[in-house]
Every structure is written in structure tokens, then in C-alpha cells.
């Protein structure tokens, strides 16, 4: 060929022989490059673009590379594409379900023995039926029912060994039968108290998606699924069924610290099926003056359907922060109302704690001189979601951007410190107090995925951004300073289903920030002067 272009010539050889395809460069000096071709009965040739020096490769190397390349082409699985932020048609959901690919579950579920049984029980939530694999935005599954009236709500508790995505299938074993026999299922009243909607409301896809995520976030539930069906009697109404599957809420731990000290903990995260937590702990240490220590905690979740969690606790063998010995006595009480969905107007939290040490290991003089302390702390926080509104009273329900105005006040005050620090400054024993205000702008869309945080369960992974500006006043050991800070977070999926989370945080007293800014300006001026 003319014009300095390359000409490719293929040499025909006997059938099924592997041949080299020589690429000659007309009128050009330099190395020759080649590819690999297969000769078939029809005379057709398949050229694989291996850019190598053909004269430096032997036949065996070419055969190995070709074999490996073809093998990889057969076994490589292309990642699922992230579903775009557009409405999904019903036919598209069924088609996506029919194209499910084999995964690591296929290998694990074929294992024999106890490992295989446990794996089949854990992975019994594999998507079957109308569940779409791959990341998909949670609200899109409910978008086809947008605006319809909710006629009825049914709660269904799924047994252990039954997939939540297909309750017609059941895996039974001695282990699952034993768990079902002594486990108390979550009561339907508890699930209804955690709903954001009621009979007579209209279907709002974002709200249902947030509610499904909220149910999955409960520590006593392994998974939850909201299913919608069109009513047979009326086209403009739907029936909602909520499937929930509990975790085995009874658990505990045992730890041997050394040859003279052991501790044990037992907990129930779904006490009586009410969704409350009761935990107890005990310590036995032969070196302690009181050889037995104990602690307890009780958490009442979603008090009266208000989404407020209250907890109280006591522990007399907590680790002392200055020595690490098991001799701190702690009392605490908390109230928390999280922002369970973007349409909640107020969120707040409060905590009160009292901490003191008791001499369990040392003589009195050493303990008072080096280890004794006593302090109390309280922390309050309240946030106002200015973007919250009543559903149906705005024109753009799809706007998920929210602005949160919040204020926080906390104080930590020591009443006793070790004797050696009565007249000396030490950062561990200083009194702290602060009043802060914050402005946060955030947007979050949640995607239903698997294998990101856990193993084989439905998970809700956020995609969006959050930027917060904080300013206020602090008082440390009698010295007052202004404070300022900024936080930025960005979390997103790529087209290849890779998930990234970036966080940047800067915060300090205004005096230090101004000094650093002046130092940066001074450095820049010096640099410019030297450059001239």
C-alpha cells in the first residue's frame, strides 16, 4: 500500500494450523510487528491484536498466550451497570431479573457439610422473583405506583431459613428449627410503629424507599422488604405487604484477659419481640479488691412511635482512661432522635454521664496521687431540617437536597483529679465547654446493593454529598476562644460499580486559622520576592 501505510499479508497453511501474520511496513525502517491468526476450513482467519515482535516469539509462547486469552474471554464477567436516575418500567425489571449472572454464592452454596448448611442459611436471601440485581436506586422500584392510595398494610414475619424475597421456598435444618423454637419474632405492632405512612396515604416512592431502609437499619432485623400490589377492586389503590426477617437477637461474648481475669457479656436485642435491648456483663479478676465487677444496659427503641431511643446504663469495671485498669464506675443516660428520613423536621440528642474511679489495685496513697479522678459530662444537640415539608404541598417532590441548621452545647467538668496534677496543667484533666452552631447542606440517594458492608444481605449504600460549616465558642481551662470548621463528604458509584467515599475535614480555633493564613500569605510574598 502507498502513502506509508501498513500492509497486512496472511499466509494460508494446512487446516487447523496456527500461523503468524506478518505486518510489513513499506518504505519504513524499524522493527516488524505481528499478530496471531487461526486458519479454518472455510478459509476465514481470526486475528488477535497482540502487538509483539513476531521474530522474538516462539510457537509455544504464542500458543500459551492465545490459550490464556481465549480462556479469559470466556470466564470474565462484565460488571453490572448502575441504573440511571430515571423511572424503571415493569418490563425492564423482569428483564433485568432474567439476566442474573452466577456469583460467588454459586460456589459457596455447593459446599458440603456444616459450612455448606450455614452458607445456604445465610445466603437464603438471594434475589428471586421480582428483585433486580446490581445497584439500583431504592425509590425506582416503587415509582410505577406513585400517587395511588394505600388501601391496606399487612405485616409478615419470615422464619429463619426462608428467603425474604421468595417465602414459598424454605431451607430447614436442626439449626434453623432450634432458632425458630426459642426466638420471639418481632411483634407486628413494633413494625407498624416504625412506618412513615398509614392506610389512606398516597404512595410516595421516596418515602417508601426511606422506610424500607429504616427497617433494615434496625439492629433486630436482618432484612426488610416492602411489596406493593395493585388492588383488584380499584385501579387507583394498592395493597402493601411488609416482609421482615429477624436476626438471632440473643448473643454474647467471653474473653480471657489473662490467667487471673475473665469477662463475659450476654445481650438480647429484641426483648420479648418489642425491639428493645437488654445487656449484662460481668468481670472476674483475682487481682481486684472486689473480685467481681458487673454492668448492665437497657435501650428502649422508638418510644411511643416517636422515633426516640432512650438508654440507661451502669458499669463498675469500665477502663480508666488514665491507666487502662478496670476500676472506673460509670452512670449514663441518653435520648436520641435521629433523622430517619429527609421529611422529619426536627432531630435531637442528649446525654448525661457521671464517671469516677475506685481503688481496686493500688495502695491508697499511690491511687490518690496518680489515678483518682471524678467528673461529669453532658452533651445536647438539636437540628432543624429546613427542607422538610408535608408531602404533596410542594411542586417538586424529587428534590432531595436538604439544609440542616443545628446547635450543640457540651460540658465536661472535673471534680477530682490526681494529686500530682492539682497545681499543674495536664490535658487529660482540663475542663471543657463549648457552644457551636452548624449549617449543613446535604443530598442522599440510597442504592440497594450486596457485598459492600456485609455478606449476602440487602444493603443501602448512600450516594450524594454533605457539606457542613461550623462556628462557635469554646472554653478550655478558663481560656475562651472562637472556633470554626468545615466538613465535606462525597460518596458515589462509578460506571463499573466501584464505590468511593471522600471526606475532608478542617477545624480549629479562629486564632490558629488566622495565624496559618497569615503564614501562608507571608510564605507566598517571600516566594514572589525571591522569584523577582
| 11 backbone dihedrals φ, ψ, rounded to 5° | -95, 120
Residue 97, C-beta contacts closer than 8 angstroms, at least 6 positions apart: 127, 129, 130, 131, 132, 133
**Phi-psi category of residue 253: left, alpha or beta, with phi > 0 → left and psi -120 to 50 → alpha:** beta
Would you list the DSSP string of 122-162? HTTT---SSPPPS-EEGGGGGGGGTT-EEEEEEEEEEPTTS
Spell 473-507 as b/e; 16+ CB within 10 A means b.
Answer: ebeeeeeeeebbbebebebbbeeeeebeeeeeeee
What is the SS3 string spanning 302-352?
Answer: CHHHCCCEEEEEEEEEEECCCCCCEEEEEEEEEEEECCCCCCCCEEEEEEE
pTM, two decimal places: 0.68
In this structure, the strands spanning 6-10 and 250-258 are unpaired
Residue 98, C-beta contacts closer than 8 angstroms, at least 6 positions apart: none
Whether the CB-CB separation of 372 and 418 falls below 8 Å is answered with: yes
Reduced to 3 states (helix: H, G, I; strand: E, B; else coil), residue 95 is helix
Reduced to 3 states (helix: H, G, I; strand: E, B; else coil), residue 530 is helix
Would you list the DSSP string of 397-411? TT---EEEEEEEEEE
Q: What is the DSSP letter of 187?
A: P
CA 146-152-156 angle, 5° bins? 105
Question: In the structure grid, which three cell numbers stand for residue 523, read together?
Answer: 510564605
pLDDT of residue 109: 52
Q: What is the CA radius of gyration of the chain?
A: 32
Taking the C-alpha atoms of residue 350 and residue 460, their distance in angstroms, rounded to an integer, is 27
Q: What is the DSSP letter of 248?
A: -
Give me the mean pLDDT over the 228-257 stretch. Answer: 89
At 509, is the pLDDT very low, low, confident or very high (cuts 50, 70, 90)? low
Give me the mean pLDDT over the 59-88 stretch. Answer: 44
Question: In the structure grid, which three cell numbers stand for residue 519, read together?
Answer: 503564614
C-alpha closest to that of 54 among 28, 33, 78: 33
- Lowest model confidence (mean pLDDT) among 93-97, 313-317, 497-501: 93-97
pLDDT of residue 82: 37
At 500, is the pLDDT very low, low, confident or very high (cuts 50, 70, 90)? confident
Residue 522, C-beta contacts closer than 8 angstroms, at least 6 positions apart: none
Question: 525 vs 367, which has greater pLDDT?
Answer: 367
pLDDT, tens digit (0-9, with 9 covering 90-100), for 123-176: 544 444 444 456 778 888 898 999 999 999 999 999 888 888 777 787 888 888
pLDDT, tens digit (0-9, with 9 covering 90-100), for 436-488: 999 999 988 888 777 666 655 677 888 889 999 999 999 988 889 899 999 99
pLDDT of residue 61: 54
What is the SS3 string spanning 268-300?
Answer: ECCHHHCCCEEEEEEEEECCCCCCEEEEEEEEE
Domains of the chain: 6-75 (no CATH), 90-246 (3.10.20.310), 251-386+404-424 (no CATH), 431-532 (no CATH)
Give me the mean pLDDT over the 19-34 stretch. Answer: 38
Give me the mean pLDDT over the 201-227 stretch. Answer: 93
Question: 174 vs 277, which has greater pLDDT?
Answer: 277
At 531, is the pLDDT very low, low, confident or very high (cuts 50, 70, 90)? very low
Asked if residue 15 has pLDDT above 50, the reply is no
Taking the C-alpha atoms of residue 361 and residue 363, their distance in angstroms, rounded to an integer, is 7
Taking the C-alpha atoms of residue 266 and residue 282, their distance in angstroms, rounded to an integer, is 9
Taking the C-alpha atoms of residue 378 and residue 411, their distance in angstroms, rounded to an integer, is 6
Mean pLDDT of the chain: 76
Amino acid at each position: 500500500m502507498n502513502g506509508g501505510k501498513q500492509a497486512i499479508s496472511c499466509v494460508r497453511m494446512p487446516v487447523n494450523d496456527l500461523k503468524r501474520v506478518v505486518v510489513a511496513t513499506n518504505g519504513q525502517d524499524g522493527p516488524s510487528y505481528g499478530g496471531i491468526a487461526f486458519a479454518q476450513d472455510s478459509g476465514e482467519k481470526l486475528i488477535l491484536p497482540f502487538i509483539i515482535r513476531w521474530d522474538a516469539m516462539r510457537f509455544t509462547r504464542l500458543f500459551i498466550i492465545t490459550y490464556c486469552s481465549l480462556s479469559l474471554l470466556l470466564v470474565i464477567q462484565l460488571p453490572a451497570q448502575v441504573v440511571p436516575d430515571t423511572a424503571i418500567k415493569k418490563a425492564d425489571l423482569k428483564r433485568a431479573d432474567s439476566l442474573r449472572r452466577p456469583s460467588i454464592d454459586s460456589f459457596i452454596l455447593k459446599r458440603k457439610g456444616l459450612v455448606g448448611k450455614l452458607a445456604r442459611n445465610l445466603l437464603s436471601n438471594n434475589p428471586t422473583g421480582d428483585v433486580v440485581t446490581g445497584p439500583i436506586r431504592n425509590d425506582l422500584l416503587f415509582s410505577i405506583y406513585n400517587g395511588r392510595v394505600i388501601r391496606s398494610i399487612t405485616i409478615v414475619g419470615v422464619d429463619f431459613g426462608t428467603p425474604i424475597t421468595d417465602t414459598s421456598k424454605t431451607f430447614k435444618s436442626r439449626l434453623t428449627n432450634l432458632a425458630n423454637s426459642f426466638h420471639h419474632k418481632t411483634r407486628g405492632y413494633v413494625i407498624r410503629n416504625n412506618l412513615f405512612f398509614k392506610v389512606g396515604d398516597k404512595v410516595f416512592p421516596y418515602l417508601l424507599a426511606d422506610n424500607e431502609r429504616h427497617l433494615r437499619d434496625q439492629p433486630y432485623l436482618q432484612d426488610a422488604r416492602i411489596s406493593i400490589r395493585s388492588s383488584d377492586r380499584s385501579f387507583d389503590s394498592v395493597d402493601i405487604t411488609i416482609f421482615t426477617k429477624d436476626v438471632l437477637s440473643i448473643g454474647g461474648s467471653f474473653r480471657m484477659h489473662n490467667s487471673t481475669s475473665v469477662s463475659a457479656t450476654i445481650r438480647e436485642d429484641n426483648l420479648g419481640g418489642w425491639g428493645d435491648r437488654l445487656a449484662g456483663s460481668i468481670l472476674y479478676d483475682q487481682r481486684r479488691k472486689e473480685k467481681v465487677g458487673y454492668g448492665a444496659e437497657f435501650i428502649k427503641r422508638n418510644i411511643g412511635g416517636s422515633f426516640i431511643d432512650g438508654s440507661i446504663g451502669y458499669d463498675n469495671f469500665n477502663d480508666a482512661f488514665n491507666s487502662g485498669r478496670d476500676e472506673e464506675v460509670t452512670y449514663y443516660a441518653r435520648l436520641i432522635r435521629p433523622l430517619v428520613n429527609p421529611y422529619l423536621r426536627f432531630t435531637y440528642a442528649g446525654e448525661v454521664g457521671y464517671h469516677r474511679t475506685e481503688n481496686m489495685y493500688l495502695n491508697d496513697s499511690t491511687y490518690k496521687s496518680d489515678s483518682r479522678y471524678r467528673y461529669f459530662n453532658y452533651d445536647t444537640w438539636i437540628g432543624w431540617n429546613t427542607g422538610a415539608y408535608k408531602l404533596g404541598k410542594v411542586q417538586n417532590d424529587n428534590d432531595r437536597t436538604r439544609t440542616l441548621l443545628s446547635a450543640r452545647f457540651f460540658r465536661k467538668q472535673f471534680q477530682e483529679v490526681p494529686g500530682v496534677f492539682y497545681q499543674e496543667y495536664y490535658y487529660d484533666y482540663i475542663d471543657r465547654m463549648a457552644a457551636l452552631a452548624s449549617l449543613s447542606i446535604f443530598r442522599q440517594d440510597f442504592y440497594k446493593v450486596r457485598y459492600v458492608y456485609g455478606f449476602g444481605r440487602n444493603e443501602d449504600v448512600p450516594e450524594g454529598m454533605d457539606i457542613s460549616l461550623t462556628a462557635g465558642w469554646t472554653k478550655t481551662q478558663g481560656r475562651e476562644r472562637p472556633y470554626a470548621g468545615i466538613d465535606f463528604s462525597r460518596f458515589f458509584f462509578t460506571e463499573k460499580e466501584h464505590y468511593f467515599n471522600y471526606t475532608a475535614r478542617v477545624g480549629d480555633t479562629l486564632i490558629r486559622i488566622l495565624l496559618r493564613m497569615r503564614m501562608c500569605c507571608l510564605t507566598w510574598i517571600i516566594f514572589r520576592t525571591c522569584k523577582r
